[in-house]
């Protein structure tokens, strides 16, 4: 692998590690807040699970709509 490709890979892996680490801290702190608010372990787990399911359910359709909107907007500009 040439030095430029190695540098790009290194930057990518560092940014991915930082993003994953930040998300892990957020989930851990959110769970502590839920437990401090009086939720049981099961309720905190369910709240986090429903939040994650909501992200999955709404993120994909939003991306499809955005892609369709972008295509329609570009065809509008091309006229």
Task: Tell whether the model's pLDDT for residue 63 goes beyond 90.
Answer: no
- When pLDDT is cut at 50, 70 and 90, the band that residue 17 belongs to is very high
Residue 78 — pLDDT band, cuts 50, 70, 90?
A: low
Residue 77 is predicted with a pLDDT of 59
> Taking the alpha carbons of 68, 74, 76, 79 in that order, is the dihedral positive or negative?
negative
pLDDT for 79: 64
DSSP character string of 8-48 = HHHHHHHHHHHHHHHHHHHHHHHHHHHHHTT--HHHHHHHH
The model's confidence at residue 30, banded by pLDDT at 50, 70 and 90, is: very high
Q: Is the pLDDT of residue 31 over 80?
A: yes
């Amino acid at each position: 692998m040439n030095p430029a490709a190695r540098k790009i890979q290194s930057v990518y892996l560092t940014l991915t590690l930082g993003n994953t680490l930040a998300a892990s801290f957020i989930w851990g702190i959110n769970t502590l807040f839920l437990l401090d608010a009086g939720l049981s372990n099961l309720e905190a787990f369910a709240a986090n699970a429903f939040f994650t399911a909501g992200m999955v359910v709404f993120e994909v359709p939003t991306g499809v709509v955005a892609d369709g909107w972008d295509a329609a907007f570009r065809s509008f500009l091309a006229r």
